[in-house]
Structures are given as structure tokens and as C-alpha cells.
Amino acid sequence: MITKVRNHISQNEPLLFERSSPGKKAYQLPELDVPGVDAGEALGAENVRPEIEGFPEVSEVEAIRHYTRLSTWNYAIDYGMYPLGSCTMKYNPRINELVARIEGLAWAHPYQPEALAQGSMEVMARLEAALAEITGMDALTLQPAAGAHGELTGILLIRALLEKRGNPRKKILIPDSAHGTNPASAAIAGYAVENVKSTETGLLDVSALERIVDEDVAALMVTNPNTLGVFEENIIPVAEILHAKGALLYMDGANMNALVGIARPGDFGVDVLHLNLHKTFSTPHGGGGPGAGPVAVKKVLEPFLPIPRLKRSGKKLTFDYKRKDSIGRVRAFYGNFGVLVRALAYILAHGGPGLRNATVDAVLNAVYIRKQLEPYFDLPYGSPNMHEVVFSDERQAKNGVRTGDIAKRLIDYGFHPYTVSFPLIVHGALMIEPTETEGKRELDQFIEAMISIAKEAESDPQLVKTAPHNARTSRVDEVGAARKPVVRWKP
Ligand SMILES: *Cc1c(COP(=O)(O)O)cnc(C)c1O
């Protein structure tokens, strides 16, 4: 009797190298109708490799099936919900892809003369204008390639301004709820990092801050809403405390998905922030990019922005390289242009009211999840959450079930895990961000799965602790895989 079989053909797919049999080919070419030449003679023997050792030889159908089967091992946003908190894994409308593939944009060359690149430059100019309006800031650079790169750029801008004023200062303050990239960026820009403790409600401690901000502090880096998904409601007094001491307020804008169309960082005292176009403005991400982390600044920081700067003179756009206070380039050419195109397409397709709706829905979805799951999971910070919600595994831990186990069990239910063990200020965190692109049916399926796992953690903790049971591989040595990766196939 067959009880449960794994999909035999797709789940047992070997390496392509192991499928190889000598002489097989995955292509057919017509017979030569010109005289053949010997490659060694034509190119020089030293430029011709006679044989590639171990090169897989397979037929066309074997090559196609191999990669198609491998693709079924992956989880994808096109397949289902991807509730990774902090990552804003929203569904990316196909129209953005179509626009990014328009010939004139996709084939534009960075060395094209300005006169022949006016369309591409117009895309960048309009995106700068749209993002300035959305953030309430005065000027932008589109160059940084990711969020963390934007952070580094932003801190270098702060350093350049303070240096110009006579003293770059020594430290950057960072709350304990911050994303790990924040302290890394501050340190690479040459600053010491000082941690700021959050209050019991998970917010910035204003009076503690008042005590520690002095003339050595260059800036505070704050994520708003913070990584607990809670809005820093004292952000205006916080900005005032910093400004009174000549320090600046940096905002990590990776969570703009909770603010777009509702509140503007430029209006609540932020001097510089980065955006993650690949999160908020819908570019496929994960697996290492490409992304875009534009940096938006107030007027005081504008002279220091990377070169070149887009400049409009009459109808013409030009690149301005002559800016004596600029920190220079942070990236070759003009940033990841394809991502910029997608972001502008997304913004224009939605329009102001549409962007605002996306924000409202993103928050509504996360609040719905909180309300449904609150009876089953511990919620350490009770403040009303915005676009994401962070539970802890405290209740399940009593049965030895930890957040990582629950996440692995979620794989058996067909969902991508949520973010595990982050933010660090929550012990055993389950960080869930549904984004606005999930409908109620999908959310309910996720909620059902989570409730079912919470019940399993009571009735059969061992089942959860040894999950996943339906995946290709079960528990792997994650530390070993990260520290000693085996990336080369050996016969
Ligand atoms: C994603 C994220 C970052 C880093 O962005 P990358 O594009 O991955 O470099 C920084 N801060 C927060 C809060 C984030 O969610």
C-alpha cells in the first residue's frame, strides 16, 4: 500500500554532472555551408581548451527538465505568501517588467551621449521628483545599489557636512531594535556606535536620549516604523533634541511601506533617509539583488550628494559633475537603472491615492494577523503595530518548541517562513509582514496554518521540533552550511 510518496521525479533530481553521458548534446545545428576551420589554427592553440573536465553532456530534454525540476524546489512570491518580516516581499506587478524591457530603456548604454539619453534621464528625474514628494525631502541620489549601501552613503553625507562645519564628531547612536546593517554602515563610515535602549513599549527613550546626545554625536539612526512595526511617536521631539546639539537624524526608510501617502519623514524632522525601492516600490528581490537604495536629503546635505547630479536646463537634462563638496561616486554610472524604471512604473501606475491605499492595506493586513494570532502567540510589545507584527515563542518554548521550529513547520504547510529571531530585542521573535498584496483568503490560510502549529506545539511538540517533514531536505546544519559551504562539484 502506498501511504505517502514524495514526488519521485522532481524530488530526486540529481546534479546535471551526474546525469551526464558522453556524446550527448542539447543542441542541433544545421550542416555547415561554409568551409570549416580548425579552432586552434584560427584562434591560436593557447586560446582553445581541448576539453572541459567533467563538463556535463546531456540531451536537450534532460537539460530543460533538470532546470524545470530544480525550479520546483524553490519558493517564489508568484507561488505564495512570503511573510518575511522587515523584507517587504510584496507581489511585483508584471507591468513593471514589461516597462523595464522597453527597448530604448533596456538597451540604453551608460556611455550614450547625453543628447541621446534624454528619455532615460527623464525617467531618473521623474523618479527623483516622485520620491522627493513621497518622502517630503528636498533632493535625492539614485546611485546606491541597496538599502545598506544607501545607509553608508547617508552617513558619509552626514560626515561630509559635519567636517565642513569643522568637526565630523565621533559617534552614531542606534536603538537596540535596529536592523543589523545600521551599526555596520556607521562603523564603515568611521564612527563608533552607541546603543540606545528602547522603553518597555518598544519605543525610543526620549529622556535617555536627552542625556546622551552631546557634541560627540554625529547622528541618530532610527528606523520608523521601527523593526517591531511600531511608529516612533516621539520622533519630532527626538529630532529637536538632536538638532539642538548640532546632530542629525538619519532614518532607515526600509519600512516606508507603512508610511507612503500617510506621513512624510521630511515633515517629522528627518534630515536624511534611504529607501529600498526593491521593497516598498516593487522590484523582485531576494537572492542578492539587484536593488536600489536611493538617499533623500534636506537642503543642508544637498551639496554633498554623489556626482553626477541631474540638472534640468530648459527642456534639456544634463549631468553635473562639477560639485566641489560632493562625496564623489558611490557606484559606477547611475545606479541600477532597471530597478529605477520598475519603481517609477509602479508609482505612476498607482498614483497618489493608489500608493496610499497600498499603505493602508499593508497595515490592515498586519493588524488582522495580529488580532487573529494574539490568542495563540505571545505579543511582547503591545503597541498598535503597523505593517508588520512581532510575536515571541514564549508560550511554545514551555514545550521546548522555539521560533525556528515553528518556522520549519510552516514549510510543511506550504508557506515560506517568517523572519526568525529578529529583531534581537524580542527573545525568540516571530516577525511577520504580510504586505498589501495578500488577499483575505491567503491571509486566512496563513493564520490557519499558524494556529494549527500552535496547537501541535501543545499536543505533539516533537512533530514541530523535527519539522519539516514534507520538504526535500529536513534539518540541515545551517552554521556548517554558512561557514563551510561546498560549492564545487567533485567527481
Ligand atoms: C532590508 C533592510 C535593510 C537593508 O536593505 P538591503 O537592501 O538588504 O541592503 C536595512 N534596514 C531595514 C530596516 C531593512 O528592512
Atom of ligand 1 nearest to the CA of 289: 7
Q: Report which protein residue has its CA nearest ligand 1's atom 3.
A: 147
Secondary structure element (H or E) that encloses residue 249, with its range:
strand 248-253
Q: CB atoms < 10 A from the CB of 277, how many? A: 32
Prediction pTM value:
0.90
Q: Report which protein residue has its CA nearest ligand 1's atom 15.
A: 86
Distance from Cα 286 to the centre of ligand 1, integer Å = 11
What is residue 286's predicted lDDT score, i.e. its pLDDT? 77
Strands (E), 289-346: 295-297, 309-313, 316-320
Structural domains for the chain:
16-71 (no CATH), 94-349 (3.40.640.10), 353-476 (3.90.1150.10)
Please, what is the angle between helix 147-164 and helix 181-188, to 10°?
40
- Give 31's DSSP letter: P
Rounded Cα–Cα distance for residues 365 and 378 (Å)? 19
Q: Report which protein residue has its CA nearest ligand 1's atom 5.
A: 147
String of DSSP letters for 406-466: HHHHHHHTTPPP-EES-STTSTTEEEE---TT--HHHHHHHHHHHHHHHHHHHH-HHHHHT
Rounded Cα–Cα distance for residues 372 and 443 (Å)? 10
Distance from Cα 153 to the centre of ligand 1, integer Å = 14
CA distances from 239 to 194, 209, 217, 394 (A): 17, 11, 13, 35
Strands (E), 28-102: none
Lining ligand 1 with CB less than 6 A are 86, 146-148, 179, 181, 223, 227, 252, 254-255, 276, 291, 293
Rounded Cα–Cα distance for residues 468 and 475 (Å)? 7
Distance from Cα 181 to the centre of ligand 1, integer Å = 7
Q: What is the pLDDT of residues 99-154, one digit of tens each?
A: 999 999 999 999 999 999 999 999 999 999 999 999 999 999 999 999 999 999 99
Which among 143, 275, 276 is the best mutation to test ligand 1's pocket, defined by most ligand atoms within 8 Å of the CB? 276
Distance from Cα 431 to the centre of ligand 1, integer Å = 15
Distance from Cα 85 to the centre of ligand 1, integer Å = 11
Distance from Cα 293 to the centre of ligand 1, integer Å = 9
pLDDT in tens, the chain (491 residues): 545 556 677 778 889 988 899 999 998 899 999 999 999 999 999 999 877 888 899 999 999 999 999 988 888 898 999 999 999 999 999 999 999 999 999 999 999 999 999 999 999 999 999 999 999 999 999 999 999 999 999 999 999 999 999 999 999 999 988 999 999 999 999 999 999 988 888 899 999 999 999 999 999 999 999 999 999 999 999 999 999 999 999 999 999 999 999 999 999 999 999 999 999 998 888 776 689 999 999 999 999 999 999 999 999 999 999 999 999 999 999 999 999 999 999 999 999 999 999 999 999 999 999 999 999 999 999 778 999 999 999 999 999 999 999 999 999 999 999 999 999 899 999 999 999 999 999 999 999 999 999 999 999 999 999 999 988 888 888 899 899 988 876 65
Q: Report which protein residue has its CA nearest ligand 1's atom 4.
A: 147
Torsion angle of the four alpha carbons 43, 46, 49, 50, in this order, in degrees rounded to the nearest 10: 90
Atom of ligand 1 nearest to the CA of 227: 13
Distance from Cα 456 to the centre of ligand 1, integer Å = 33
Distance from Cα 225 to the centre of ligand 1, integer Å = 13
Number of H-type helices and E-type strands within the chain: 17, 12
What is residue 317's predicted lDDT score, i.e. its pLDDT? 98
Cell of 358: 497600498
Rounded Cα–Cα distance for residues 277 and 142 (Å)? 10
Distance from Cα 147 to the centre of ligand 1, integer Å = 5
Please tell me whether residue 317 adopts helix, strand or coil conformation: strand
Atom of ligand 1 nearest to the CA of 276: 7
What is residue 197's predicted lDDT score, i.e. its pLDDT? 87
Distance from Cα 148 to the centre of ligand 1, integer Å = 6
